[in-house]
Homo-oligomer: A and B are copies of this chain.
């Protein structure tokens, strides 16, 4: 916490009180945090959007690098909250000091890479709010409920849609669909988290001449997809084997993207 060994945070932290903060989950390979600058940029963007006065990027970068050195293959979670609630009520006072909370996890790569992914469509909607869409903020109850459902249903991941019936993402991943001969990923203007892996895949697709259509995707279109892939920093880009009982196949172009990504991160 703030660069010091700790197991607790003040009970007045606004992250606890209101979910008032953002976070990043980074993967470490060979004692280096992958896509560090992309993560730091999203953190910056998230703080800006929430009006959080984030001036600790240098400290955060150093701490992430140091933590990665101790977790050659692992995950780092960096939470940045607005700081302590210095008065009662939701309103920030404007002079809070951010708090950095860094957690380190072992990454069980053998368990994650082999099993075919089983996915279902969640009954938990993703609420639409353009003011919060795209950023990785700490208000994650929808994802908690969706994963609760996934666990009960025996899914590895739950696809989530808005109340209006637009597919947005998985509960912990972005989604890629092969639809009528085109690679499509949902737009995230109204809901969802713009994943760092999503961004890396989009950049790689652009470099390698693979067209990706970023647009609103209706829930009903999921049925038309011949291949569905998920992406996040932990999994990379991975094919869904089973969607609500329907078998799905990998797709050559997505497999090429996947191999490129794996080579980049190996």
Q: Give the interface of A toward B (CB within 8 A).
A: 1, 6-20, 50-51, 75, 77, 79, 81, 88-92, 94, 101, 103, 105, 124-132, 137-148, 150-151, 163, 171-172, 190-191
A90 with B8, Cβ < 8 A, contacts A127-B128, A127-B132, A163-B128 known: no
Contact in complex: A91, B151 (CB < 8 Å): yes
Contact B132 A172 (CB under 8 A): no
Contact B90 A143 (CB under 8 A): yes
CA distance A94 to B92 in the complex (A): 34
Is A90 a contact partner of B144 (Cβ separation < 8 A)?
yes
Smallest CB–CB gap between A122 and chain B, Å?
10
**A9, B11: Cβ atoms closer than 8 Å:** yes
With A11-B7, A17-B79, A129-B125 known as contacts, the answer to whether A89 contacts B140 (CB < 8 A) is: no
Q: Are A131 and B138 in contact (CB under 8 A)?
A: no
CB <8 Å contact, B131 and A91: no
Query: What separation, in Å, do the CA atoms of A151 and B90 have in the docked complex?
Result: 11
Nearest neighbor of A124 in chain B, beta-carbon distance: B131
- Rounded to whole Å, the gap between the CB of A128 and the closest CB of chain B is 6
Report the minimal beta-carbon distance from A231 to chain B, rounded to whole angstroms.
Answer: 16
Contacts A88-B75, A105-B88: A138 and B18 contacting too (C-beta < 8 A)? yes
The reply to whether B13 and A16 contact each other, CB–CB distance below 8 Å, is yes
Q: Among B11, B14, B15, B148, point to the contact of A92 (Cβ < 8 A).
A: B148
Q: Closest residue to A92 on the B side, CB-wise? A: B148
> In the assembled complex, how far is the CB of residue A53 from the closest CB belonging to chain B, in whole angstroms?
12
Shortest A158–chain B CB gap in Å is 10
CB-CB under 8 A from A150, the residues of chain B are 91
Q: How far is the CA of A158 from the CA of B143 in the complex (A)?
A: 28
- By Cβ-Cβ distance, the 9 closest A-B pairs, closest first, are A127-B127, A19-B19, A139-B139, A91-B147, A127-B129, A18-B140, A8-B8, A16-B16, A90-B147
